[in-house]
Amino acid sequence: MTVRTPYVVPIAGGRVLDLGARPLVMGILNVTPDSFADAHPRVDAASAIAHALQLEADGADLIDVGGESTRPGADPVSADEELARVLPVVRGLAGRLRVPLSVDTTKAVVAREAVAAGAAVVNDVSGLRRDRDLAAVAARAGAGLILMHSRGDPKTMGAAAEYADVCDEVAAELQAAIDDAVAAGVPRERIVVDPGVGFAKRAAHSYGVLAGLPALAARLDRPLLIGPSRKSFLREALGDRPAPERDWGTAAAVTAAVLFGAHIVRVHAVAEMAQVVRVAEEIRKVVVRR
């Protein structure tokens, strides 16, 4: 168990993420035809908007919309195609959601257009490795910036999963990404980090990252976002079951993340995981008080 350091993260639109009183739940909104985790992909704006509103009603504290799959082996998507998927959803939600909207993209042009349309946070799963201009976009817009640890791309990240000490190397590579963002003008207080469970990591690495969250938090001194939802590393414990059937395993990973000090958990099944978060947080608070 660990004490969760509180942070206040300014985001676009003059809002803030209060990351201290309790862990926040980020709802996943995929607008792609090839999401690994959705049994029924939502590729049209109307169904995506309706789902986002339901995620908010289910307890999401922020919603992350993405138009390009990052599952292992996924084909790249052009900026034009990604914009065509994402922008109608962001525009349709602007003014309707009470919670902030995040855009899950590695492209500066998509980040720029999405923030202009109403997104308040940019979530970059490449940690600025694919498009360094993305940090400057976030800086100019005053957006929050989530930097995730990964290596390679969806087609090559499996081969990049080699570590002598996974937590040490993840921390060092995330620190380099933070430094790059700050050099591009992003204030440090606007940055959240994600150690990238399931990205360029074998199952043992992902479990090692979860167990090592307190050390990562102490070393990086930034809020931690953890996204274990329905990912393939859970098969190590659950067996070979399809992604939509991994929510019980996700619940265990979310519990561990909360107990070890995560500030945000990113999940598909918001209603269920919001309950998991609340119970895990009550346990964490009792242990910390002892």
Q: pTM for the complete prediction?
A: 0.95
pLDDT, position 76: 86
Q: Say which residues have a Cβ less than 8 Å from residue 249's Cβ, sequence separation at least 6.
A: 234, 237, 238
pLDDT, position 17: 98
pLDDT, position 40: 55
Q: Are 223 and 7 in contact (CB under 8 A)?
A: yes
**Dist CA 250 CA 82 (whole Å):** 28
pLDDT, position 242: 92
Task: Show which residues are catalytic.
Answer: 231, 266
Domain boundaries, the chain: 7-289
pLDDT, position 34: 62
The three-state secondary structure class of 178 is: helix
For CA atoms 244, 249, 255, 256, the dihedral sign is negative
CATH superfamily of 7-289: Dihydropteroate synthase-like (3.20.20.20)
pLDDT, position 38: 60
**Dist CA 140 CA 120 (whole Å):** 12
pLDDT lower than 70: segments of the chain: 1, 34-42
pLDDT, position 41: 61
Using one digit for the tens of pLDDT, what is the confidence trace for 108-154? 999 999 999 999 999 999 999 999 999 999 999 999 999 999 998 88
